[in-house]
Amino acid sequence: MELTFERSFLPTRSSNIKIVTYVDGKINEKLFRDAVSKLAIKHPYLRSKVIMHEDGTAYLTTEGGKEPKSVIVSGNSNTDVLDAIYQEDLLPSNWETEPTSRFILIKGVNDSDVIIAYVQHVVADGRSIVFIMKHLLEIIADPLKEIEELIPISLVINAPADVKIPEIQKSYVEKTNIEWAKEKVTFEVEEFIKIAQKKYASGPDVYIDYSLTQEETLALRNKSKEHGVSVNATLLTAILIAKNLEETEPTPNRMGFAVDVRKRLTKDAGEACNLLASGAMVEPEYKEGVSFWDLAIDIHTKTLMVLESNQNIFMTRLMSQLMDPTFNDAMYMFQQGGWEGTPLIKKMGGKGAPVGAVLTNLGGIQLPAEYDGKNPIKLRDAIFYPPIGSEKLIELGASSLLGKLHIVTLSPQNAANKELKEKVIPKIIDILKKNL
């Protein structure tokens, strides 16, 4: 079935959602290219292409679409990863001749291979790309497994009656539809190039990475189990305390979890195109004087309450993950920002939809015997890069690498919150160490 959809289209690479995945072990190049091709079968909208109209508007369609582009390069350090992102973001895309999605394999970065996924924001959101990357790794791990094509589903505006839709989302969708019925919005390449250049005016992003030792990570797991909370709740507690100690202006403590809701939504093609995930949100209260583990129990309890009250949507998959003290498919959102200055947002008279930050660790994936790498493939770090202009965000990625908990973030050199990030990350580690 060929599907065509019309949505606001941003003709620059800086409009992509990006996710970076460090892999322990080496990925065979042919295996990588084959996996990208199979991924496009599983996710049809990754094969979309652009149709430009005489009035300057642009549309995406899967009819005659191309496979995502797979690129393989060499690298030696995190700097090479950041430089690859920097170069991609600065270049406008000619998507009439190029695929709208691309996957880059960087070989040999700090004894790891690195995969960077670029997916057009109309095709996927920040939550969805987490699942896209997960599915790519699953295909690499089991290349002989039959691929099931996922039928694109519609926006949750058509969700079942028991699925709650935020009013801001309803309003945003309705306003977008009204405006598009009146006039198609044209996006100028030059404007987005200027935005990208401004973002990188002071050079590539700064990579910040702190970790616990293997012994400390084991103690973290054991201590969490001792107090009857998940490791996720323990980590969130440290983030909550560090954030509130270092912020000069308090912001809401919003923390969420990514959940695959595909089975709960209509399978008709819709304007959200490829929405795969939703999220449960908890807003814990920070109180000075309350012990670390009492805060952790509060966060854990509230998380379970949210999941139980929405069990028709979330089912039991995430519930079991949170009860198990490991790092599994999770998303943390604790400060919200938005786009400013883009033509559609100006036209809408607002600052755009809220943006969150992703934390995800998909665990170890055992490679098949014929895999020519020596080690099992494990996802190390997966970091969602927020859209340009979202400098209010503190985006953190946390993961376990060879038994060690890593907390990482990327910060533009000129970001308003760069100094805050540099204070918060080590503070989180210090707080965890003091409570082990």
Residue by residue, pLDDT tens for the chain (436 residues) are 222 222 333 334 445 667 667 666 678 899 999 999 999 888 777 877 666 555 444 455 666 777 888 988 887 766 676 667 666 665 655 666 677 788 988 887 666 677 888 876 656 655 566 667 777 877 887 788 888 776 543 333 334 444 444 454 455 445 544 544 554 433 344 444 454 455 555 555 555 667 778 788 778 878 888 998 877 778 778 888 887 887 777 666 766 544 444 443 333 322 233 333 444 566 788 888 999 999 999 988 887 776 555 544 443 333 333 332 222 222 222 222 233 333 333 333 333 222 222 222 222 222 233 333 333 333 222 222 222 223 333 444 444 444 566 665 555 555 555 666 677 778 888 999 999 9
At 174 the pLDDT is: 55
Cα–Cα distance for residue pair 9/45, rounded to 1 Å: 14
Long-range contacts of 43-47 (CB under 8 A, 24+ apart): 43/132, 43/135, 43/150, 43/274, 44/3, 44/149, 44/150, 44/151, 44/152, 45/3, 45/123, 45/124, 45/152, 45/273, 45/274, 46/100, 46/101, 46/119, 46/123, 46/132, 47/99
Cα–Cα distance for residue pair 296/346, rounded to 1 Å: 41
Contact predicate 11/93, CB 8 Å: yes
Cα–Cα distance for residue pair 54/52, rounded to 1 Å: 7
At 51 the pLDDT is: 61
Q: Structure tokens of 339?
A: 């786009």
Q: Structure tokens of 59?
A: 């549309």
At 374 the pLDDT is: 36
At 143 the pLDDT is: 84
Contact predicate 262/150, CB 8 Å: yes
The amino acid at residue 414 is: N
Q: In this structure, how many other beta carbons lie within 10 angstroms of the beta carbon of residue 304?
A: 17
SS3 content of the chain, % helix, strand, coil (to 5): 40, 20, 40
Residues 6+ apart with CB under 8 A from 27: 105, 107, 113, 115, 140, 373, 377
Contact predicate 313/264, CB 8 Å: yes
Cα–Cα distance for residue pair 243/72, rounded to 1 Å: 38
Question: Which helix H or strand E contains 237, and what residues bound it?
Answer: helix 231-246
Contact predicate 259/278, CB 8 Å: yes
Residues 6+ apart with CB under 8 A from 349: none
At 435 the pLDDT is: 96
Cα–Cα distance for residue pair 229/300, rounded to 1 Å: 6
Q: How far is the first Cα of the chain from the last one, in angstroms, to the nearest whole number?
A: 54
Q: Give the residue ranges of DSSP H helices in 46-201.
A: 78-90, 126-141, 167-182, 189-199
Domain ranges within the chain, ordered by starting residue = 4-434
CATH topology of domain 4-434: Chloramphenicol Acetyltransferase (3.30.559)
Q: Structure tokens of 263?
A: 């089975």
At 362 the pLDDT is: 24
252: left (phi over 0), alpha (psi -120 to 50) or beta: beta
At 95 the pLDDT is: 61
Closest CA to 114 of 318, 408, 332, 391: 408
Q: Structure tokens of 69?
A: 């582009």
Residue carrying structure tokens 């406008």: 92
Widest pairwise Cα distance in the chain: 65
